[in-house]
């Protein structure tokens, strides 16, 4: 239940059981905001409608993505949870570097589990989906406000549940403005919208 997470501390949230990531990404992983951002990325990068992108909880962090084909077959991308792999691929794509990290050992017994997402306990994914369906400006505000909220949580200035609550509050404040002119005209405007979102998040955090 979401209420059970009210007293989570930064130290607890940073203790990820499988991944070794930076602090912001680790907190995003714990709130599942990272999954929300990945839904946005997958939709935009691969031109896939949001309603065709599902999110599942996979505690072992071995399967990172899956594609289901029209015939019912599914292909997954799997690897041990090691950030060196996506970083290396980002630097070398479309080629791959040799021996970046250890591969899965398919000769050893292993169990993979997949669980449905609890949207009530983890509302960040639904919030990201809402932004994706609203406008590109909404997604920029989501990201900017979340970064401010995560940093405040790490600095012990915001409770854990306040992270996503702050992001939602900023989006609610700016919704009418964003819908009135949903597309960015240039990079400068993008920066202005992001800065406004950060200021609003900071104002809300300072009132806690």
**What are the tens digits of pLDDT across the range 104-149?**
999 999 999 999 999 999 999 999 999 999 999 999 999 999 999 9
CB 133 within 8 A of CB 53: no
Same domain, 112 and 137: no
CA distance 120 to 101: 36
CA distance 53 to 40: 10
Same domain, 153 and 185: yes
Same domain, 136 and 195: yes
Percent of residues, the chain, with pLDDT higher than 90:
87
Same domain, 202 and 122: yes
Boundary-marking domain end, from 72, 96, 116: 116
Token pair recorded at residue 62: 């071995």
Token pair recorded at residue 125: 């994914």
Q: Looking at the 3D structure of the chain, how many domains does it have?
A: 2
Same domain, 136 and 64: no
Domain that holds residue 108: 57-116
Residue at token pair 């077959």: 73
Q: What is the pLDDT of residue 208?
A: 80
Boundary-marking domain end, from 95, 116, 137: 116
Q: Is 132 helix (H, G, I), strand (E, B) or coil?
A: helix
Is the pLDDT at 3 greater than 90? The verdict is no
Is the pLDDT at 54 greater than 90? The verdict is yes
112-142 burial: b if 16+ Cβ within 10 Å, else e: eeeeeeeeeebbbbbbbbbbbebbbbbbbbb
Same domain, 46 and 149: yes
- Mean pLDDT for the stretch of residues 167-186: 91
CA distance 61 to 82: 10
Q: Is 64 helix (H, G, I), strand (E, B) or coil?
A: strand
Q: Is the pTM of this model over 0.85?
A: yes
Same domain, 131 and 145: yes
Q: Give the lowest-confidence range in 8-17, 111-120, 167-176.
A: 8-17
Token pair recorded at residue 186: 């240039």
CB 140 within 8 A of CB 153: no
Same domain, 49 and 141: yes
Boundary-marking domain end, from 116, 133, 148: 116
Same domain, 8 and 103: no
Same domain, 165 and 99: no
Q: What is the pLDDT of residue 167?
A: 98
Same domain, 131 and 196: yes
CA distance 129 to 126: 5
CA distance 43 to 140: 15
Same domain, 85 and 37: no
């Amino acid at each position: 239940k979401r209420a059970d997470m009210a007293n989570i501390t930064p130290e607890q949230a940073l203790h990820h059981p499988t991944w070794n990531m930076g602090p912001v990404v680790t907190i995003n992983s714990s709130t599942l905001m990272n999954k929300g951002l990945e839904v946005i990325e997958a939709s935009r990068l691969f031109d896939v409608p949001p309603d065709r992108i599902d999110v599942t909880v996979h505690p072992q962090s071995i399967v990172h993505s899956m594609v289901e084909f029209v015939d019912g077959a599914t292909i997954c991308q799997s690897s041990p949870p090691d950030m060196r792999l996506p970083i290396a691929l980002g630097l070398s794509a479309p080629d791959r570097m040799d021996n970046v990290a250890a591969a899965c050992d398919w000769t050893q017994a292993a169990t993979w589990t997949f669980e449905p997402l609890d949207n009530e306990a983890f509302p960040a994914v639904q919030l990201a989906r809402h932004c994706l369906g609203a406008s590109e400006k909404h997604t920029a505000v989501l990201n900017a406000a979340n970064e401010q909220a995560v940093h405040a949580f790490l600095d012990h200035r915001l409770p854990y549940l306040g992270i996503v609550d702050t992001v939602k509050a900023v989006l609610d404040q700016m919704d009418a403005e964003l819908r009135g002119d949903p597309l960015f005209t240039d990079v400068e405007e993008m920066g202005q919208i992001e800065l406004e979102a950060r200021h609003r998040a900071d104002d809300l955090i300072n009132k806690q």
